Structure 1
Amino acid sequence: MNKPWLKHYDKGVPADVQVPEIPLWKLLEGSAQKYPDHVALEFLGYTMGYRQLWESVLRFAGALRAQGVQPGDRVAIMLPNSPQFVIAFYGTLAAGGVCVNVNPLYTPRELRHQLSDSGAETLVILDMLWPRYAEIEQEVPVKRVFTTGIQDYLPFPKNLLFPLKARREGRWVKLPQHPKRLDFKKALRAATPTDQPYPAKPDEVALLQYTGGTTGVSKGAMLTHRNLVANTYQSLAWGGDEVKELEGKGVMLGAIPFFHVYGMTVAMNYGLAAGYKLVLLPRPEVKPCIEAIEKHGVTHFPGVPTLYIGFINFPGIEKRKVGTVKVCISGSAALPVEVAKKFEELTGGKLVEGYGLTEAAPCTHCNPLSGQRKMGSIGIPMPGIDAKILDENLNELPPGEVGELAVRGPNVMLGYWQRPEETQKAIKIDWLLTGDMARMDEDGYFYIVDRKKDMIIAGGYNIYPREVEEVLFTHPKVAEAAVVGLPDPYRGETVAAFIVPKPGVTLTQEELDKHCRENLAAYKVPRIYEFRSELPKSAVGKVLRRELREAALKERQKVEG
């Protein structure tokens, strides 16, 4: 197959990666053997070395086995970024279990679906979230619940002050005596570390990562040990010679949630496999990110566009010491060109847009860190990944034509958990259909035009929200923008833009309309502008266009009603 992108790889980036046939936990074990005394985790002042982390992982594996957890059993983890998350994740794999990442923001209804669908009999949950589990306890297959609190891994005196603060804020939950409940930290202390971590075969499932919740019923992508090891190696290889020099010395900022596949691979697995210090933040907020960069000399800052937008607009950012940042890969949503430029001016580091999806563990494309970057492009396929653009009949389209992006590689999932029909729709002759409309240029750089389902059809024209958003972001008074299609009796759909202005500025519809008319064909110009103080976002920071659309429709019904 012709791969025009290979000639644009940075120095030291291989065309393919040799994926070792090992369980995912071997990556952490390897770093613990190489760098036993290096700091592995830093959490709000608490530090844990690689040797200690690996021992805790083996202890948790021992605790799970003592509770009767067998290879293949599902263990749900409902925690923010914390030492407990890392220990529970790798400990589950070392016991032979299958991890099920659960968003801590989930409501009881969403939690019920995920526990029931996965068949998880073990749950590791933050103490404050116990009431959500208690509400659905009788409706799910869970047999044992490990509870843990943020205070369990805080240094003195923070460990004593945190519960007092939580009580003052009304967030403290007094845990009941309960036959299913086990204390995470006590269980670790009492457990005998396993001396034989489970030797999983490459094609055994390591993780059920749920996806598609915004488009219907959430389904579990079955990601194998090979998928996760491969994508970690592919991500490490992407840094080329420049990043190889940081092995055992880099500092990874773990701000994006590990329960999301992007944070799990690009921050947690990547950071630990490379022997970095992983600085954990329980919430992806801008101020703690800046403080962590200054305090720990962060070199790697993976994030999402909303985090970088907050960073460049943070008051006094020009005076902060953020020059240690070297590598930032933005994922999960489109990165506005203006944001990347400003971020690089402020830090001197490199911020490149990448692309991936849960079903590919997740990274498939990225712009080169040192070589040619094409702003607005998701870049080129990473080592060992093939990509092409297909029409509705699955025929390959030539460069420049818009169609559906399809990818193939050792990182692509086995399929959806207990959903063979959905799997058949997503994977065709070894190719994963992404659901994203895209094009490829002559050099092999790919451009996401938009989600298939987000495309707006107005007056017979196809309009891609991302293109309109890119133009809105170039307006100097715009901090955030999102575009959706709303029903229109004449055009079928019309373009609606939701805008968050920069702090302290006055912005009018007339200004935006003039700006858009100068930069877009008339049929793409928004007919509706709404100003907001913030946009609804998912836990990982992706703007939820669906929620904007639904809120606008409800508002319209009120007015018309």
Structure 2
Amino acid sequence: MGEALVAVRLAFDAAFSTTLDAVWEAGDAVLPIHPDLPGPEVEALLGALRPGFLVDASGVRQLRGAAPVEPGTALVVPTSGTTGTPKGVVLTHDNLSASALATAARLELGKGDRWLCCVPPSHIAGMMVLVRARLTGSPVVLHPRFDPAAIAAEESTNIVSFVPTMLRRLLQAGVDVARFRWILLGGGPVPAHLVAAATVAGARVVVTYGMTETCGGAVYDGVPLPGVRVATAEDGTVALAGPMLMRGYRLRPEETAAALRGGWFLTSDVGELDPSGRLRVLGRRDDLIISGGQKVLPVEVANLLMEHPAVADAAVAGRPDDEWGQAVAAVVVPAPGAAPTLAELRAFVAERLAAYKAPRYLVIVAELPRGPTGKPVGLEALVAGASAVSS
């Protein structure tokens, strides 16, 4: 094919891994697409990123309107912008190698390790498991779907990458997490109590911070990987630099120029650096709630709510409010047999955080709506449209 972009929409099994290797050996780049993505979304993705070929269960077909890729491109990983319009993060082979080798150096990985991949490779966390295994010569076991029972039965693997929801469900199911030499935990805010619970269970957890634009995790437990530089702007915006930084956004030069400034990637996150240079991420700037002129980071409130004994899971979002502009709204999954009330949750938060951060609205749900990577989705619509919300 020769420096073409090849969309791969296959089940995440050995055939996917074989196809990935074949495309790269041919000198082409891969656009991974989740096999369960609905047809209209697949078409939108193909239209926005303009690959030359599509490999799916029916075979290989050439696509019209293809745009070339630059030499050295390995991946175009789809991600959604704030508008929901698909865009592709362009990552080179050099980017992937720098990231994988930095992780291998930090965690002392080698051929004796055996990876478990249960995060979809259409997401950067899952793809980087395959890349790390490939570059270090380590075997990898692919699970098409996250299944606690299957993970419990897969005793031969000793390194894994999870999103917080996965680890939480494994602990709830009583799966032995102590058998893993390392658990990389990222893909979203990581509650401190979840890490504590896993540690008590014998797990060795590394909290990772990064995004698709940095080949996934670039900061481990607050400490940058070898070659990574971290800075914060005056407004707290986290900036990252290093050899694993993306080439840019496919076919979007203006957005690339806005995101990359002098070799630095300006993230959408707010954080702070301690005197030793350790990074603490406070939350996403775009998720910030402004209530009565006060700034509230949803993740801070959600993490605290999950420490309440009556709460099994929680997320927080801003809700339009005539008096406050925005009000803090909590979406809560009750613990078994519990019935948390707004009054007790407000009091619980106000005892530990500023009073204006306490939720003014409460929505009780059986399960939080989450995307493929475990991040809560659709919260604003949920809290705005729920007639049962209490104030």
Q: Above 0.5 in TM-score?
A: yes
Q: Match of 1:309?
A: 168
How far apart, in 1, do the equivalents of 2:32 and 2:357 lie?
39
Report if the CA contact (8 A) 1:499-1:529 is conserved. Answer: yes
Matching residue of 1:253: 116
Contact 1:390/1:403 (<8 A) preserved: yes
* Aligned counterpart, 1:517: 350
Q: Does 1:361 align with 2:215?
A: yes
Q: Which one has a bigger Cα radius of gyration?
A: 1
CA-CA distance at 1:105 after TM superposition: 2.8
| Residue ranges of structure 1 left out of the alignment (5+ in a row) | 1-68, 144-199, 368-378, 392-401
- 1:270 maps to which residue? 132
Letter in 2 for 1:494: A
1:92 corresponding residue in structure 2:
23
Residue number among 181, 186, 194 corresponding to 1:339 in the alignment: 194
Cα distance in 1 for residues equivalent to 2:11 and 2:334: 30
In 2: Cα distance, 1:142 partner to 1:248 partner: 42
Q: Is the 8 A contact 1:80 1:259 kept in 2?
A: no
Query: Is 1:289 matched with 2:220?
Result: no
> What amino acid maps onto 2:150 in structure 1?
P
* AA partner of residue 353 (structure 1): V
Alignment of 1:56-455 (within 5 A): 69=1, 71-126=2-57, 141=64, 204-213=72-81, 215-239=83-107, 243-244=108-109, 247-265=110-128, 267-292=129-154, 295-296=155-156, 298-314=157-173, 317=174, 320-346=175-201, 348-367=202-221, 379-391=222-234, 403-455=236-288
Q: Which residue of 2 aligns with 1:553?
A: 384
Secondary structure of 2:257 counterpart: helix
Structure 1 residue 254 displacement after superposition:
0.8
Shift of 1:355: 0.5
Task: State the AA in 2 paired with 1:352.
Answer: V
Residue identity over aligned pairs, in percent, reads 31
Q: C-alpha deviations, 1:152-179, integer Å up to 9, x for none?
A: xxxxxxxxxxxxxxxxxxxxxxxxxxxx
C-alpha contact 1:221 1:413 (8 A) present in aligned 2: yes
| Structure 1 residue 214: Cα displacement | 5.4
Deviation at 1:142, TM superposition (A): 8.6
By how many angstroms is 1:500 displaced? 1.3
Counterpart position of 1:18: none
Q: 1:80·1:283 contact (CA, 8 Å) conserved in 2?
A: no
State the alpha-carbon separation in 1 of the partners of residues 75 and 241 from structure 2: 19
CA distance in 2, matches of 1:99, 1:299: 27
Shift of 1:358: 0.8
Describe the shift of the 1:286–1:501 C-alpha distance in structure 2 as closer, same or farther (beyond 3 A): farther
Q: Tell me the secondary structure at the aligned position of residue 355 of structure 1.
A: strand
Normalized per residue, the structure richer in strand is: 2
Q: Distance in 2 between matches of 1:269 and 1:327?
A: 17
Tell me the distance in 1 between the aligned counterparts of 2:386 and 2:361: 13
CA offsets, 1:342-370, max 9 Å, x none?
Answer: 11222x23112111111111221111xxx
Q: Which has the higher contact order (CA 8 A, sep 6+)?
A: 1
1:542 to 370, 375, 379: 375
Is the 8 Å Cα contact of residues 81 and 254 (structure 1) preserved in structure 2?
Answer: no
Provide, for residues 133-157 of structure 1, a one-character-per-residue CA deviation record: whole Å limited to 9, x for no partner.
Answer: 9xxx99x6399xxxxxxxxxxxxxx
Question: Which protein is richer in helix relative to its size?
Answer: 1
Q: Structure 1 segments of 4 or more deviating over 4 A?
A: none
- What's the Cα RMSD here? 2.4
Equivalent residue number for residue 300 of structure 2:
467
Deviations 1:40-73 (A, max 9, x none): xxxxxxxxxxxxxxxxxxxxxxxxxxxxx2x211
CA-CA distance at 1:116 after TM superposition: 2.0
**3-state secondary structure, aligned to 1:538:** coil
Whether the 8 Å CA contact 1:328–1:349 is kept in 2: the answer is: yes
